[in-house]
Amino acid sequence: MPIKFQSKPGLVIYLTAGDPSLEATHAIALEAIDAGADVIELGVPFSDPLADGPVIQRASERALARGTTLKDVLVLAKQIRTARPQAGLVIFTYLNPILRYGLAKFADDAKAAGADGVLVTDIIVEEASDATSNLLAELDRVSLAPIFLAAPTSPDDRLEAIAAHSKGFIYAISRTGITGKQQSLTGDAQSLVARIRRWSTLPVAVGFGISNATHVAQVAEFADAAVIGSAIVELIERSAPEDKSGHAQAAAVARFIKGLRQPEAALTR
């Protein structure tokens, strides 16, 4: 069950659920899909997001300060699924909130909400099949796609294991580091995607540091999709943070996404 990327390059848009409000995330997600996002990654805010840079840390703090819970995120997922049945929907989370919720219940509820896949930042393939954190068995039971991260530092034997356990798509991390914008893509990303292709026929999405149309065009040359996270979250932070309805942010995000597939416009600006 690979997740379909309708357009080339595919666009995966990450949103921290509940920032600036659940209602706003809902509005932003729908506008993002209408503007061309193939997949929405709905981020579950976590108190200690050690794989994230300052932008997503701040968004998580704001979402938690408003009381956003995993249960809320799953309700939101269901609303987005109902409103936009064709879009890809991935729950993006750290492990502890779903462990506390119960992995079996989480899998059931994420499936019922209409999610396609689950990405857990701090779980590696080995621990995802360990008895104490058997995420793979639970996702498999309800036919939800496990999406794993592949890193430039992952040797081939790890890429092989990641490929063997992934469904949906494989998320290739563009560089060593945490989430956040960067000036240009390193050579790491392209060689990583080439190595992943040796082990998998799944679509490969490249993320971390992708923030403009030039990056997206570069990624399109060697991968199936680009993941945009911090750039969108920062845009939401900057656009009318006092507007909790999300209309202003949704309009800004839609404009931004439309621009991402127009590298010429970006280059001549």
Partner 1 sequence: MASVILPSAPSESRPGRFGIYGGRYVPETLMAALVELEREYESAKADAAFQTELADLLRDFAGRPTPLYFCKRLTEQLGGAKIYLKREDLLHTGAHKINNSLAQGLLAKRMGKQRIIAETGAGQHGVATASVCAHLGLECIIYMGEVDMERQHLNVLRMKLLGAEVRGVSSGSKTLKDAISEAMRDWVTNVRTTYYILGSALGAHPYPTMVRDFQRCISREMKQQIIEKEGRLPTAIIACVGGGSNAIGAFYEFIPDRDVRLIGVEAGGRGSALGEHAARFSGGNPGVLQGTFSYVLQDENGQIALTHSVSAGLDYASIGPEHAMLHDTKRAEYTSRTDAEALDALVKLSRTEGILPALESAHAVAEALVLAPRLTPRDILVVNLSGRGDKDMGIIAQELHLDSHPGEA
Positions touching partner 1 (CB under 8 A) are 46-51, 53, 57, 64, 69-70, 95-101, 121-124, 126-127, 130-133, 148-155, 158, 162, 173, 176-178
- What is the biggest distance separating any 2 CA atoms in the chain, rounded to whole angstroms? 54
Burial of 237 (0-12, 13-18, 19+ CB in 10 A): middle
Q: Which residue's CB is nearer to partner 1, number 20 or number 53?
A: 53
Could you identify the residue written with the tokens 């499936």? 111
Whole-number minimum distance, CB 217 to partner 1, in Å? Answer: 25
From 31, 41, 109, 116, active-site residue: 41
β-pair type (225-228, 10-16): parallel
Q: Which residue's CB is nearer to partner 1, number 100 or number 141?
A: 100
Whole-number minimum distance, CB 244 to partner 1, in Å? Answer: 21
Give the 3-state secondary structure of residue 180. coil
Q: Which residue's CB is nearer to partner 1, number 1 or number 50?
A: 50
Whole-number minimum distance, CB 214 to partner 1, in Å? Answer: 23
Sheet holding 88-93, edge to edge: 145-147, 117-120, 88-93, 39-43, 10-16, 225-228, 204-207, 170-173, 149-150
Amino acid in the structure at residue 140: D
In the structure encoding, which two tokens stand for residue 143, read together?
């036919």
Whole-number minimum distance, CB 19 to partner 1, in Å? Answer: 15
Q: Which residue's CB is nearer to partner 1, number 161 or number 251?
A: 161
Q: Which residue's CB is nearer to partner 1, number 68 or number 79?
A: 68
Q: How far apart are the first and last CA of the chain?
A: 40
52 counts as catalytic: yes
Q: How far is CA 101 from the centre of its chain?
A: 21
Whole-number minimum distance, CB 122 to partner 1, in Å? Answer: 5
From 31, 38, 52, 138, active-site residue: 52
Residues marked as catalytic: 41, 52
